[in-house]
């Protein structure tokens, strides 16, 4: 049976870095994506995403290597999300702020000893706009240039 791989993120403006993470996860098994809710993202980073959660979810579901995708729990209980999905591996993205060790320990303390936490080390920067923030910045720069015309 194929392994269950969990990845999670906001996926505000889709870019090849997201796709790279999903494709690398797919080499390990079936990819199950948890998409952060608007509220949780706002709590976590102080800013709500541009694109609403249901729309972000629909885009993620349309990707070739995504087996299932759903929104995170509304109570933002990460460990509960992991318990429900019961993955073999959690693959963190190269720039995700979670610590592998802390997440691994937290899972152990909850009895989820079989879940392995890994980080994708390679940062995919083949293209210029390799993050949602870079895309947003470029949109704002273009807007500012126009204001000066």
**Chain residues in the site for a second copy (CB under 8 A):** 13-16, 19, 22-23, 50-52, 54-55, 58-59, 62-65, 127-129, 135-136, 138-140, 142-143
In DSSP terms, which residues pair with 32 in a beta bridge? 6, 68
Phi, psi of 78 (to 5 degrees): -60, -45
Q: Which of 98, 142, 148 is nearest to 119 (CA)?
A: 98
Which residue, 45 or 86, has its beta carbon nearer to a second copy?
A: 45
Minimum Å distance from CB 128 to a second copy?
6
Minimum Å distance from CB 138 to a second copy?
5
d(CA 76, CA 81): 8
Structure tokens that stand for 87 in this block: 């993955």
Which residue, 4 or 18, has its beta carbon nearer to a second copy?
A: 18
Which residue, 71 or 100, has its beta carbon nearer to a second copy?
A: 71
Contacts of 45 (CB under 8 A, 6+ apart): none
Minimum Å distance from CB 137 to a second copy?
9
Which residue, 20 or 115, has its beta carbon nearer to a second copy?
A: 20
């Amino acid at each position: 049976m194929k392994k269950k791989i969990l990845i999670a993120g906001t996926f505000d403006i889709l870019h090849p870095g997201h796709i790279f993470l999903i494709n690398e996860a797919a080499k390990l098994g079936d990819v199950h994506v948890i998409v952060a809710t608007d509220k949780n993202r706002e709590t976590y980073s102080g800013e709500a995403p541009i694109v609403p959660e249901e729309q972000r979810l629909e885009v993620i579901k349309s990707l070739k290597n995504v087996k299932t995708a759903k929104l995170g729990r509304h109570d933002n209980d990460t460990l509960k999300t992991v318990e429900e999905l019961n993955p073999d591996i959690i693959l963190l993205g190269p720039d995700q702020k979670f610590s592998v060790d802390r997440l691994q320990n937290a899972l152990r303390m909850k009895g989820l000893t079989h879940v392995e936490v890994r980080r994708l080390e390679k940062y995919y920067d083949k293209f210029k706009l390799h993050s949602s923030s870079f895309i947003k910045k470029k949109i704002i720069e273009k807007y500012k240039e126009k204001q000066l015309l």
